[in-house]
A = this chain, B = another copy of it.
């Protein structure tokens, strides 16, 4: 029977510029109770610590709550909506989100964190380093918290991945009644990010979670930018 377990890694220290995130993950996993990484695990890493490690921090005026807005414009290729201080834009990466993914929470006062330049690449680096450090073959997902159209509340989604599929294509797989299925391309990487968020929370200081028990057939190269990001010309709401 398919059974998933999802747990957070505790004890990861405040990440600083230049830190090796994979080392922090490997050490935390070894130190925890029954949290040592195994082949096939998917490691979900919040964007914020990746951005810090990769020095994606930009100084802003700590006394001006809007001082990061010029950064939002710089990191955007297209503004979709504005309402008050809220900007919904398409980022240079192709994501559509609020404020180009830039925010000030969980960052030192006076700094704003931009999204990683290439989160798929960030995921690949962490995956490769974990293989080297811990001898495990894992998937890695970089997650961030986005709003949605039409539904209240935010959820965590994937902005980068490696070693795990973005989308699993179930087109043509017979349904339970044996007939041809309609199009069903499931964004499993986003569902994994969402599952991880349930054990991370926003204020508990757990920036990394492990999802164990993912279907081995889903463990392939993977890419959020190639599989998940919808091209503007294919989009009905842009």
A100 to chain B, nearest CB (A): 13
| A83 in contact (CB, < 8 A) | yes
A4's nearest neighbour on chain B, judged by CB, is B6
Other-chain contact of A191, B181, B186, B198, B215 (Cβ < 8 Å): B198
A3 at the interface (CB under 8 A from B): yes
Interface of A is mostly: loop
Contact B203 A149 (CB under 8 A): no
Which residue of B7, B10, B157 is within 8 Å of A151 (Cβ)? B157
A185 to B199, CA, bound (A): 15
Contacting chain B: which of A19-27, A112-120, A172-180?
A172-180
Interface flag for A108 (CB, 8 Å): yes
- Which residues of chain A in 201-238 are interfacial with respect to chain B, using CB atoms and an 8 Å cutoff? 201-206, 211, 214-215, 227-230, 235-238
Residues of B within 8 Å of A202, CB to CB, are: 170, 173, 175, 181, 184, 186
Q: Do B151 and A187 touch across chains, with their CB atoms under 8 A apart?
A: yes
Give bound CA distance, A10 to B107, whole Å. 45
Q: Is the CB of B4 within 8 A of A236?
A: no
Interface residue A81 (Cβ < 8 Å from any Cβ of B): yes
Is A134 at the interface (CB under 8 A from chain B)?
no
A121 at the interface (CB under 8 A from B): no
Residues of B within 8 A of A194 (CB): 155, 190-191, 194-195
Subset of 9 A-B contacts with CB under 8 Å: A4-B198, A4-B199, A152-B230, A153-B185, A153-B187, A170-B203, A186-B202, A198-B214, A237-B237
